[in-house]
Structures are given as C-alpha cells and as structure tokens.
C-alpha cells in the first residue's frame, strides 16, 4: 500500500512522508525546500513533490493521503473542557461548542487543493484524517521496533483540543488511556515562558532548556502556573496560556502570557545574554516541566511501565532532552524510544503509519532518519560553477580520502561544513548536514557560535561518538542514535571533550553506527587515530534563524555567508584558501583561473 502522509494543520512545520508497504522511503520538512524556518502558514507542496519523486511514485499511484488532524465529536469531553476553561473569552468558548470542527474543515479543503496541485485524483485516492495525538503516538510506537506491550506518551502544545496523551501499544494496536485538553498544556506553558524569556515559541524552547543549567531553579516558585491533582493538571490562565484581552502585548504583538506575569516576574527579557534573573526563571520552568511530566507519567502509565519497562514518546515536549534523561533514569523504564521528528513535522509520518496499521500492514522500525534528498557529484559541481566568489576545489575519489582529509582539517583546529548523502528528517543534524569541530580544541564552540552560526555564545553543542566508544562516555549501552536524550558524561571524558559537555555535565549524544552512515563512521575512526577520541562536535548546517541546509546551493550560500573556511560537499573539498597539492585527490581549477 502506498500512503502519503501530510502535515501542516497547525500552520507550522508542514512535512510529507511516503510509506510503501510499511517502509518509509522518503520524508522531509517543507522549510528545507522553501528556505523559511518552520514554513508557517504553508502546506507541504515541495516536500510532497520530493517524496513522490524519491519513491518513484506517480500521483495516481497514491492510495491514501493521511492527515494528522481530525474532526472531534461534541460528545467528546474535549470541546466541553475547552469551552469551560475559556469562558472568559466567550467567542472562543461558544465557537468550540457550536462550530468546533471549523479548523478541520478548513484544513481538509487545503489538503484537497494541495492534492490537486500535486496531480492527485481524488476519485481514486482516499483522504483519511487521523487525530493529531494518535499520529504522534503512532510515530513513536509503530517506529520504535517494540514488539511487546509498550507505554505511549505524547506531550505537545495542542492538537485539535488534546495537549497530552497517555496510551498503550500492544500488537500494533494503540489504546488511548487518558488525554488532557487545551488550555491545560504542559508544552503550552513552556512555550509561554519561552516567549517571556525573549525567544520565539516553537523555535526557542530548546534555548530555554540550554539556558536552564546556568540558573538556580529554586530562586523562583512557578508551581502555581501548573497545578497538579490526582493525575490531572490545571494551568493558571491568569498568567499563561492566555487568549484575547488577557494577553500581554508589545508593539501590537500579543503573547501567550499576561500582564500579570510581567508584574510578578519583571520585564520580558531582551538580548542574547544569559543573565539574572532570567537564567533562574528558565531553570525553574525546566524543573516544573520535568516534575509535572513525571507526576502524570507515574499516575497514568506507572503500572504499565512496571509491567513492560518500555516507553515510546513523541510530541513537541519529547524534544526536551533533559526530561528524556529523567524518564530514562526511572527505575521502571528500561527502554525509551523518542521519535526523532517528535514535533509536528513527525505527524505526517505518524498519520501514514497509523493508517497503514489500521489496514492490516506492519511498519519497518526506524533505524535512521536519512530520508531527504541527496545530490550527485555532478549536481555539486554545477552548483559550484554558478558561484562568482573566489574558491578552490579538490575532488576526492574515495570515502577513505574524504574521511582522512576531513579529519586532518578538523585536527588543525578548523570547523568544517559537512554535506553528505541524504538529508536528515527532523530537527537534528546527524552527520548529513552538519558543521563539525574537534571537541578537545579550546574555544571551537565559541568560534562556531560567534563567527559561523551567529547565535548566543552560551548555546551548547553535541557530540557524535562511535558505537564501540559510547558506553564508556555516557555510562550506558542504551541506544542513542538520534540525539533525543542527554546523558551524564563520565568525569574522565569531560576533560577530554569539554567543548561538547554542557554546564551540568551532560551531553546530547548521537551514537553513530557504521551501517547507517559509513562515511561519517569512517571520519570518527580517523579522528580516534589522530586525537585518541572517537568523538566529533556536531551542529546543524545552518545559521541562526535559517532552516537547515538542503541542497548544494543552500550549503554554498551559507559557506560564503559566514567565516567557514572549508566545506566537504560530497566528494568535493571546497576552500576559500588555496589548497596545497596532496596525494589525496585532484585539485580542480575554476575555468577562469
């Protein structure tokens, strides 16, 4: 069965994923193609075109288009809860009761328009809506590879009405145990405090998480923002998750917190410096988020976890890697699978997999996320030929030469742009569209932050490590292929790789396996030979505020727009300085040189 999953119902992070007989053959976010981070208010047209092309599938072969947004019955408690909690904004409350599926109808029309633009024949292709949180749940559970009974957690800002999901997966079937509804949203409160701390919601939550270790969580008591009682929460909408007239405004822009919050905590933060009191507020928010998530997890899934030891986790809240560390440290959690595209982009994948299983199919477990476009050497050469800047190129003829040349440049203290193979799906750079550095090189992180990515100096970087070395570094053999969990770094290693160890002694690690990324693996082997450490600093190939690089043209735009000196563009080593002659490859002179 050929199923095309499309996301974009919530006006951010649209994506597409193509499943053929239960295997993901392609998946990508729209932002990468249109060069607009989060691609707000768009539908995944270019991403869908890519998926069809990558799968060699014509539009008339698509049997189902799965969409992660569904109508919610008035008999459901969801709309009634929403109306009761938003009664202070009666227009919203009444709309939920009398026109509660308005957004679904609008999205259905947008999907049909998109389908027509793709060439979908709606007489043959079925449109199947899937509840948003069921799509999140499926994206985690069905791709986890867990065969036995599994606890499922979804923590998100909001779907149709649900914000948090607790369920059980067994033999492919997902059973909903409990949902929480808007405005009682853990991720919503985290997003509101993200805005208060001077960052953009949907984009800055990981910055709050990165700022938190610099602060003292006990300096501010934020417990009243999310009250917990016997497996339920209630958000204080006088302060956060506010709508209408309660919203705080600056220059005509409304935020998801109120004037009352500003009077309590002080002015909204501005600027790039991690400073008091805001570092303490970030720490307090992170602590509260972890505490409430763990309380709810214990109440609704604790007994199931003691029975199974397995948890599958998705939703935007699952990108909070510090929470994931706390979950994995629980005595009754032995295995944790976090969907690498845990945010809304991953719901295209989840909607497609949910429909596939509902129709009797099975899903191939996710072992890697290299599901985006790749480019030939000729395409890379063509992109270079269109540039007017001064540069030099060396063509390397083997994986061994690529890895060796890259490792020597890194060991000389140079950051290196690394553009290889198929692009990653999800927000993490995992050795396909990356900027690399040697984590034992003093100041390399500050240099990349300040001169290449143009982002805040206090932002941490992550390590990619060889699978046979990982357990010694992170003191566990738990799988970690996707940078979705932080781990405590062994003290002996903290001094060896200081540039990728965060303020609290942890690191968000990617464990690299040879069969999923052989060229990246070989690079790490060369670094181990040269430095004694099979570790590389790895961050996404983009500048602040930009989507991750997709094409060779994107990579070159970034390369010439920052202080990077070297770019490994497939087999082509591109340099802004003259490359000395070596035996590792052939220097290519530009036609006008």
- Residues with a catalytic annotation lie at 12
Say how many C-beta atoms besides its own lie within 10 A of residue 505's C-beta: 14
Helices (H), strands (E): how many in the chain?
19, 25
396: Cβ–Cβ under 8 A, 6 or more apart, which residues? 402, 405, 571, 572, 573, 584, 585
**Among residues 434, 438, 445, 545, which one has the least CA distance to residue 503?**
445
Do residues 550 and 425 make contact, with C-beta atoms less than 8 angstroms apart?
A: no
CA angle, 320 as apex, 314 and 471 as ends, to 5°? 95
Say how many C-beta atoms besides its own lie within 10 A of residue 398's C-beta: 12
* Separation CA 580–CA 584 (nearest Å): 11
485: Cβ–Cβ under 8 A, 6 or more apart, which residues? 321, 324, 325, 328, 336, 338, 478, 508, 509
Around 225, how many Cα atoms within 13 Å sit in the side-chain half-sphere?
A: 32
The DSSP element (H or E) to which 29 belongs, if any, is strand 23-29
Instruction: Tell me the C-alpha to C-alpha distance, in Å, between residue 404 and each of 160, 319, 562, 568.
Output: 50, 33, 24, 12
Beta bridge partner(s), residue 336: 311
């Amino acid at each position: 069965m050929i199923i095309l999953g499309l996301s974009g119902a919530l006006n951010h992070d649209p994506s597409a994923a193509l499943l053929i007989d239960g295997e993901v053959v392609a998946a990508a976010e729209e932002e990468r193609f249109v060069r607009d981070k989060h691609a707000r208010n768009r539908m995944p047209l270019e991403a869908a075109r890519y998926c069809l092309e990558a799968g060699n599938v014509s539009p008339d072969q698509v049997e189902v288009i799965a969409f992660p947004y569904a109508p919610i019955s008035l008999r459901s408690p969801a709309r009634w809860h929403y109306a009761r909690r938003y009664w202070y904004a009666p227009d919203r409350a009444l709309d939920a009761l009398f026109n509660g599926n308005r957004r679904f109808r609008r999205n259905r029309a947008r999907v049909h328009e998109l389908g027509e633009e793709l060439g979908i024949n709606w007489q043959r292709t079925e449109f199947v809506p899937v509840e948003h949180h069921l799509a999140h749940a499926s994206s985690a559970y069905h791709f986890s590879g867990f065969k036995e009974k599994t606890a499922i957690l979804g923590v998100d800002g909001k779907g149709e009405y649900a914000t948090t999901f607790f369920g059980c997966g067994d033999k492919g079937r997902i059973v909903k145990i409990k949902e929480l509804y808007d405005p009682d949203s853990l991720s919503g409160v985290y997003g509101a405090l993200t805005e208060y701390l001077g960052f953009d919601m949907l984009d800055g939550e990981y910055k709050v998480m990165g700022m938190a270790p610099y602060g003292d969580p006990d300096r501010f008591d934020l417990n009243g923002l999310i009250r917990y009682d016997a497996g339920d929460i209630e958000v204080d909408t006088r302060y956060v998750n506010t709508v209408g007239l309660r919203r705080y405004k600056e220059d005509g822009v409304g935020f998801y917190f109120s004037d009352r919050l500003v009077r309590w905590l002080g002015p909204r933060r501005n600027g790039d410096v991690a400073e008091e009191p805001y570092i303490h507020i970030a720490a307090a928010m992170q602590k509260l988020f972890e505490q409430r998530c763990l309380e709810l997890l214990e109440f609704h899934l604790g007994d199931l976890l003691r029975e199974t030891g397995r948890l599958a986790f998705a939703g935007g809240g699952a990108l909070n890697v510090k929470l994931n560390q706390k979950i994995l440290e629980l005595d009754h959690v032995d295995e944790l699978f976090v969907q690498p595209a845990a945010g809304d982009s991953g719901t295209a994948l989840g909607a497609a997999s949910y429909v596939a299983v509902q129709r009797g199919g099975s899903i191939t477990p996710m072992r890697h996320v290299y599901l985006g476009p790749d480019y030939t050497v000729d395409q890379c050469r063509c992109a270079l030929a269109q540039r007017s800047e001064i540069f030099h190129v060396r063509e390397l003829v083997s994986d061994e030469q690529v890895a060796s040349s890259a490792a020597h440049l890194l060991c000389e203290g140079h950051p290196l742009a690394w553009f290889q193979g198929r692009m990653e799906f999800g927000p993490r750079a995992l050795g396909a569209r990356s900027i690399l550095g040697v984590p034992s090189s003093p100041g390399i992180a500050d240099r990349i932050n300040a001169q290449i990515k143009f982002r805040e100096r206090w932002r941490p970087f992550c390590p990619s490590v060889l699978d046979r070395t990982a357990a010694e570094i992170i003191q566990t053999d738990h799988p970690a292929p996707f940078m979705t969990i932080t781990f405590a770094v062994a003290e002996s290693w903290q001094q060896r790789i200081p540039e990728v160890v965060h303020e609290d002694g942890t690191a968000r690690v990617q464990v690299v396996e040879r069969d999923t990324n052989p060229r990246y693996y070989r690079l790490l082997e060369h670094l181990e030979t040269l430095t004694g450490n099979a570790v590389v600093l790895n961050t996404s190939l983009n500048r602040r505020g930009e989507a991750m690089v997709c094409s060779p043209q994107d990579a070159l735009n970034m390369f010439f727009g920052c202080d990077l000196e070297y770019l490994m563009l497939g087999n082509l080593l591109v340099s802004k300085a003259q490359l000395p002659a070596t035996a590792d490859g052939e220097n290519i002179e530009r036609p006008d040189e």
